[in-house]
Amino acid sequence: MGVEVRDTLASMPDTLHAYDHVRGIYFPIAIGVFALVVGTLLVLVVLGARRRRADAARSEAPRVELAYAIVLGLVVAFLLVVTFRAESPIDRAVADPRLRIEVTAAQWSWRFSYPNGATVDAVSTWHPPRAYVPTGVEVEFFGSSRDVIHGFWVPQLHFQRQFLPGFTTRFDLRFDKPGRYGGECSVFCGEQHSEMHFAIEAVSPERFERWLDAHAPKVSMQGAKTSARKASVTR
Amino acid sequence: MSTVAIPAAAAPLRALASTDHKRVALGAGAVAFAFFIAGGVLALLMRTQLAADGGVVSQANYNQLFTMHGSTMVYLFVVPVALAVGLYFVPLQVGAAEIAGPRVALAGLWLLVLGGLSMWSGFLTSGGAAAASWWGFDPLSDSLHSPGSGMELWIFGVMLATAGQILWAGCIILTALRRRAPGMTLMRMPVFSWTMVATCLLVLFSFPALILALALLWTQRHFGGVLTGGLGAVDYQQLFWFYGHPAVYVMFFPFVGMVGEVLATFSSKRFFGYRAFIFALLAFAGLSMTVWAHHMFTMGQVTNKYFALTSTILIVPAGIEYFDLVATVWRGRLRFTTAFLFALAFVVQFLIGGLTGVILASPPLDYGLNMSYFVVAHFHYTIFAGSAFGLFAGIYYWFPKLTGAMLRERLGKLQFALMIIGTNLTFFPMFVLGANGMTRRIATYPKSTGWQGLNVLETAGSFVIALSVLVFLANVVVSLRSRIPAGEDPWEAQTLEWATSSPPPRYNFDALPPVRSYAPLLDLREQLASDTAVGSPLNSFNKGTP
Amino acid sequence: MRRASIVLLGWGTWLGALTALQAPFRVINGPLGVHWIEAAMLGGAALACFVAGLVVWAIDARAGAGERSRLVANDSLATATLVAGLTLALLGAGFGLWLILIGAGVTALGLGGLVREGLARRRRRGGVV
């Protein structure tokens, strides 16, 4: 069964700013429209409460409504331009990411596997896996689920993507600020869905390299397997 | 066309098997309302668990609760009650003596009852009721991850209920298209009946996808090999949401129609912008068939931009509909009955749901907000704060016609006040919590999140809603026990259902007034007013002086 | 009444146009995964609606002018029985052959009842103008 390769134009994925930018346009417009409609209705209701007879000269206004529909259409076009422009970079996977981490989701935990063979697992429900990443570069997460659909959600980056069984998902994230980014499983996956936490620990690139070396598996018979796996991972 | 009925049998038989569309509709409405109460109790249990911060129900039980709450509300309450109101009033509004295919309509009622019983009997099984959410997603719902009869009973129950709904839609739309009174052209059909036509189109051409999805799921559970490969799970969702999105418009259009009738009646003028509204309605309904995969944006497996476009362009027909609703109130003589208050609340509250829907239609925003309480708030605003309020507007408007008795206005306004407070208290904070990262479908949240305060507030709101429903039930009981007679037309209304007795006789009308527009009774009143006005040549008191 | 089918024909056409709108997005999004299902479902609905419109058109054309009395059973226990039987048979698929057989039996009762109603209607029609 072939693995899906997404088209890979060079771009910097920045989910956090994409969200903030689009939100900064959509939310005020929504609030403004709400205020306009409710305000109009309020005025009409107050005026109508005291009226003795229904007073309207006409019961349709086709030209006004046509003009109004055109205005709405322009608003739609504007919103779509904003959305599509923000969406394209984050939908694509970068051609040559600096780091590729394989993610395996299962009922009910996450495993992160690094190119050098290091893995991060959950220790227990109360110690979710903490995957280290370097700040300021695009990190590609790819992988699938071992059983049912799970959702990889990092609320602080305003991004989530579903992991499907038997299919490889790929996406890029960029962690600009160092610190801990909490992660949840966003797609309901059964009894312990609420316990599928994870954390991404974003540290400086130097500190990340040190961590990666420290966590590399010991050189042994496994060494050959590790390098073979490394070769297959960096496609 | 005339219809003659073969004489009736005994009373118990009639309750079970009457083909009178009015009895079928009342039965369906009562059954749906009973499921509303049941589903509401499940919601109260969930809210108690969330407020108590754990310890009330286990996570496994909680999963059954939200699965059955959602399933009951969608499959067994809102969709059936929307169609039931159409079953009752479309024949009346178009001046027909009976619905098209009365026995088919009766079959639909039985399918609803048996389907609902099947789903709920899952609670009686050893494994409990279905617990894979109201979507029943594969692979979570397959035999490996959801073994047990609860899931089986759920699958069959949903299939049965949905089949019944498809049958009803056929009856209603054929009545509207082919059984209208003489003089009632398509462009003179009342607003509510048109919204029912749009609703039936959606049911007929998207609901079969659910039956197919469930049949595939059942086959997968028993024989495997159907929903296989990585994209099998995606295929299930494609089929499911092809049903699931039109379903939410089935849960919207009838209510916007009844709100339109109520606003017009209690503004004492005809509905504004009728033709624009009808075209916008049909365009809207068609568009709503094209947006389904916006529920799947975060899978990365659908043509995101197409669905973002179709989901956003809904603003245009929706905006036209809103314009017409508000313009109906413009320059009217307003009468602030309970029905009118509920209709106004619908307009305001549904708007919140609709605008947040546009927000979610943008993939960059959806990636951040999907599966959070923001979505939960969005759809509760559209379906509960919107459609359910529209339903109560319709109930307070049409109860006199159904029963011949008026509902108490004082109790009605008390219900309204409690319901508005409860609804906004329960669902508005969810927008905030969702934007802060609160995932849905979880029984207990860590204390460190600091969400507990708002959770408690929301639970308080949900009990206020429950109180308002009790007030409503009390209103019904009181109004039926000590009746205030309603007469034919207590509201000075505009459409044909008000031109017959309350409740209507078996064949609906003894005689039909002439139909010259979508507001025939208003036309008659206006004609009478101008005929008898001083200065009118038809006024016999007015000989000579113009 | 022939105009009624225009609602179905028109709406089916509208759905067809919306299906066609998917085409440019295939190009923009590139060859991704299995998307034929999106066009198949929406296009299928469009086609079904259009065909339904043609059927209603044909029925209206055949019915022509002139009124006909329509006899309607006031109640139909047979319908309720039929639905109960089909339900039991369906549930039997999950619970065992015994339930399927019971369901089949009840269904047969229901069908028999419907036949009886049909015969009664035919007898009545002999006397109704």
Q: What is the CATH number of the domain that holds B298?
A: 1.20.210.10
Checking if the pLDDT of C129 tops 50, the result is no
| pLDDT value of position C27 | 62
Q: Token digits for C29? A: 């999004």
Q: Does A24 touch chain B (CB under 8 A)?
A: no
| pLDDT value of position C73 | 79
B349, B355, B358, B363: CA torsion to nearest 10 = -100
Task: Kindly state the average pLDDT of the residues B205-224.
Answer: 93
Residue B4 lies in a domain: no
Which residue of chain B is at minimal alpha-carbon distance from C32?
B301
Calculate how close chain B gets to A214, using CA atoms only, in Å: 31
Residue B543 lies in a domain: no
Backbone angles phi, psi at B229, to 5 degrees: 75, 165
Write down which chains contact chain A via at least 3 CB pairs under 8 A. Answer: B, C
Contact B334 A91 (CB under 8 A): no
Calculate how close chain A gets to C26, using CA atoms only, in Å: 13
Q: Token digits for B134? A: 């109201």
pLDDT band at B536 (very low <50, low <70, confident <90, very high): low
Q: Is B188 left (phi over 0), alpha (psi -120 to 50) or beta?
A: alpha
| Optimal mutation site among A36, A38, A59, interface B, most CBs of chain B within 10 A | A59
**Chain B residues inside the 8 Å CB shell of C19:** 290
**C-alpha to C-alpha distance for B302 and C35, rounded to whole angstroms:** 7
Q: Does B426 touch chain C (CB under 8 A)?
A: no
Q: How many CA atoms lie within 13 A of C58 on its CB side?
A: 6
Calculate how close chain B gets to C71, using CA atoms only, in Å: 5
Secondary structure of residue B513 in the 3-state scheme: coil
Quick one: which of B495, B499, B259, B287 has its CA closest to B395? Answer: B259
Checking if the pLDDT of B292 tops 70, the result is yes
Confirm if B369 and B439 have CB atoms less than 8 A apart: no
Contact A80 B312 (CB under 8 A): yes
pLDDT tens readout for residues B44-75: 999 999 998 778 899 899 999 999 999 999 99
Contact A83 B358 (CB under 8 A): no
Q: Does A2 touch chain C (CB under 8 A)?
A: no
Q: Does A1 touch chain C (CB under 8 A)?
A: no
What DSSP line would sit under A149-205, residue for residue?
Answer: -EEEEEGGGTEEEEE-BTS-EEEEEE--S-EEEEEEE-S--STTGGG--EEEEEE-H
Q: Does A225 touch chain C (CB under 8 A)?
A: no
Indicate the range of A14-28, B78-92, B413-427 predicted with least confidence.
A14-28
Calculate how close chain B gets to A67, using CA atoms only, in Å: 11
Confirm if A42 and B330 have CB atoms less than 8 A apart: no
Which residue of chain C is at minimal alpha-carbon distance from A168?
C33
Checking if the pLDDT of A9 tops 50, the result is no
Question: In this predicted complex, what is the ipTM?
Answer: 0.91
Could you count the other beta carbons within 10 Å of the beta carbon of residue A64? 13
Contact B363 A91 (CB under 8 A): yes
| pLDDT value of position A228 | 45
Q: Does C33 touch chain A (CB under 8 A)?
A: yes
Residue B112 lies in a domain: yes
Task: Kindly state the average pLDDT of the residues B483-494.
Answer: 95
Could you count the other beta carbons within 10 Å of the beta carbon of residue A201? 17
The percentage of residues in chain B with a pLDDT greater than 70, rounded to a whole number, is 94
Give the Å distances, CA to CA, from B373 to A86, A146, B427.
24, 27, 9
Greater confidence (C94 vs A223) lies with C94
Quick one: which of B388, B508, B537, B311 has its CA closest to B33? Answer: B388
| Domain extents in chain C | 2-63, 77-125
| pLDDT value of position C127 | 47
pLDDT band at B294 (very low <50, low <70, confident <90, very high): very high
Question: Per the structure, how many domains does chain B have?
Answer: 1
| pLDDT value of position B265 | 97
pLDDT band at B174 (very low <50, low <70, confident <90, very high): very high
pLDDT band at A235 (very low <50, low <70, confident <90, very high): very low
For residue B444, give every residue at least 6 positions away whose Cβ sits within 8 Å of its Cβ, in sequence order, or none: A194, B49, B53, B54, B59
**Chain C residues inside the 8 Å CB shell of A166:** none
Contact B178 C90 (CB under 8 A): no
| pLDDT value of position A108 | 84
The percentage of residues in chain B with a pLDDT greater than 90, rounded to a whole number, is 83
Greater confidence (A222 vs B81) lies with B81
Closest partner residue to B351 (CB to CB) among A34, A162, A171 is A34
Q: Does A177 touch chain C (CB under 8 A)?
A: no
Long-range contacts of C106-113 (CB under 8 A, 24+ apart): C106/C81, C107/C82, C109/C81, C109/C85, C110/C78, C110/C79, C110/C80, C110/C81, C110/C82, C110/C83, C110/C84, C110/C85, C111/C78, C111/C82, C112/C78, C113/C76, C113/C77, C113/C78, C113/C79, C113/C81, C113/C82
What b-and-e string marks burial along B291-316, b requiring 16 or more CB atoms within 10 Å of the CB?
bbbbbbbbbbbbbbbbbbbbbbbbbb
Greater confidence (B245 vs C2) lies with B245
**Chain C residues inside the 8 Å CB shell of B234:** 33-34
Calculate how close chain C gets to B428, using CA atoms only, in Å: 34
Closest partner residue to B16 (CB to CB) among C4, C25, C77 is C77
Q: Which H helix or E strand runs over B470?
A: helix B452-481
Q: Does A7 touch chain C (CB under 8 A)?
A: yes
- How does the average pLDDT of chain A come out, rounded? 84
Secondary structure of residue B506 in the 3-state scheme: coil
pLDDT tens readout for residues B307-361: 999 999 999 999 999 999 999 999 999 999 999 999 999 999 999 999 999 999 9
**C-alpha to C-alpha distance for C29 and B158, rounded to whole angstroms:** 35
Q: Does C32 touch chain A (CB under 8 A)?
A: yes
**C-alpha to C-alpha distance for A46 and B458, rounded to whole angstroms:** 31
Calculate how close chain C gets to A170, using CA atoms only, in Å: 13
**C-alpha to C-alpha distance for C22 and B514, rounded to whole angstroms:** 46
Could you count the other beta carbons within 10 Å of the beta carbon of residue B15? 11
pLDDT tens readout for residues A75-113: 999 999 999 999 888 887 777 888 999 999 998 889 999
Range(s) of the domain holding residue B280: 17-532
| pLDDT value of position B2 | 47
**C-alpha to C-alpha distance for C82 and B354, rounded to whole angstroms:** 42
Greater confidence (A235 vs B390) lies with B390
Chain A 174-233, CB below 8 Å of chain B: which residues? 182, 184-194
Secondary structure of residue A112 in the 3-state scheme: strand
| pLDDT value of position B302 | 82
pLDDT band at B12 (very low <50, low <70, confident <90, very high): low
Calculate how close chain A gets to B355, using CA atoms only, in Å: 6
Q: Does A85 touch chain C (CB under 8 A)?
A: no
Q: Mind listing the domains of chain A with CATH numbers?
A: 15-91 (no CATH), 99-233 (2.60.40.420)
**Chain C residues inside the 8 Å CB shell of A4:** 32-33
**C-alpha to C-alpha distance for A97 and B72, rounded to whole angstroms:** 47
Q: Does A60 touch chain C (CB under 8 A)?
A: no
Alpha-helical (H) ranges within A3-131 are 15-49, 62-91
**Chain C residues inside the 8 Å CB shell of B159:** 90
Give the Å distances, CA to CA, from B197 to A144, C8, C17.
44, 10, 20
Chain B 130-149, CB below 8 Å of chain C: which residues? 149
pLDDT tens readout for residues B430-442: 999 999 999 999 9
Q: How many CB pairs under 8 A join A and B?
A: 240
Contact A84 B305 (CB under 8 A): yes
**Chain C residues inside the 8 Å CB shell of A7:** 30
Quick one: which of B90, B177, B70, B73 has its CA closest to B131? Answer: B70
| pLDDT value of position B300 | 84
Confirm if B154 and B130 have CB atoms less than 8 A apart: yes
Closest partner residue to C72 (CB to CB) among B3, B287, B310 is B3
What letter does residue B498 receive in the DSSP assignment?
Answer: G
Contact C74 B20 (CB under 8 A): yes
Contact B177 C4 (CB under 8 A): yes
Indicate the range of B170-179, B215-224, C71-80 predicted with least confidence.
C71-80
What DSSP line would sit under C61-107, residue for residue?
Answer: HHH-SS--EEEEESB-HHHHHHHHHHHHHHHHHHH-HHHHHHHHHHH
Contact A65 B347 (CB under 8 A): no
B91, B95, B98, B102: CA torsion to nearest 10 = -30
- Sign of the CA dihedral running B11, B21, B99, B205: negative
Write down which chains contact chain C via at least 3 CB pairs under 8 A. Answer: A, B
Contact A7 C33 (CB under 8 A): no
pLDDT tens readout for residues A115-150: 988 899 877 767 889 999 999 888 999 989 999 999
Q: How many CB pairs under 8 A join B and C?
A: 184
